Amino acid sequence: ACSAFSFFSCEECLKNVSCLFFFTNKTCIDYPVFFIFPSSSLCSLFFSRWGVCWINFEALIIALFFVAGLILVSITFFCCYCCYCRR
């Protein structure tokens, strides 16, 4: 279904959340659900978009890992503070 939006704009392709858009050849493909990251043989992560067109997939992954790391550090700090410092 996503391939029908190839050679259209990125916004048209990404209206369907299961689609992945490549800027290099303006193709729209189904997101490879069996793999977390699309194969590098398809397209570089720098030139691929998923979810929104204004940020590339590579930056999106880095931002998500950064936020997840901050959440884990915050939870660890909170647990250590509550368990050890409040005694």
Write the pLDDT tens digit of every residue in 5-58. 888 899 998 888 888 888 888 888 888 767 777 777 777 888 888 888 898 888
Check: CB of residue 50 under 8 Å from CB of residue 12: no
Measured CA distances, 48 to 8, 32, 55, 73 (Å): 14, 13, 9, 30
Looking at residue 23, what is its pLDDT?
87
Of the pLDDT bands very low, low, confident and very high (cuts 50, 70, 90), residue 1 is confident
Whether residue 51 is found in the same domain as residue 10: yes
C-alpha gyration radius of the chain: 18
Q: How many domains does the chain have?
A: 2
**Domain residues for 81?**
57-86
Q: Are residues 65 and 50 in the same domain?
A: no
CA distances 63 to 3, 38, 42, 55, 78, Å, are 28, 17, 22, 10, 22
Take residue 43 and report the two structure tokens written for it.
């397209």
- Same-domain check for residues 11 and 38: yes
63 vs 68: CA distance, rounded Å = 9
Do 45 and 20 sit in the same domain of this protein? yes
Q: Which pTM value belongs to this model?
A: 0.71
Supply the pLDDT for residue 87: 61
28, 44: one domain: yes
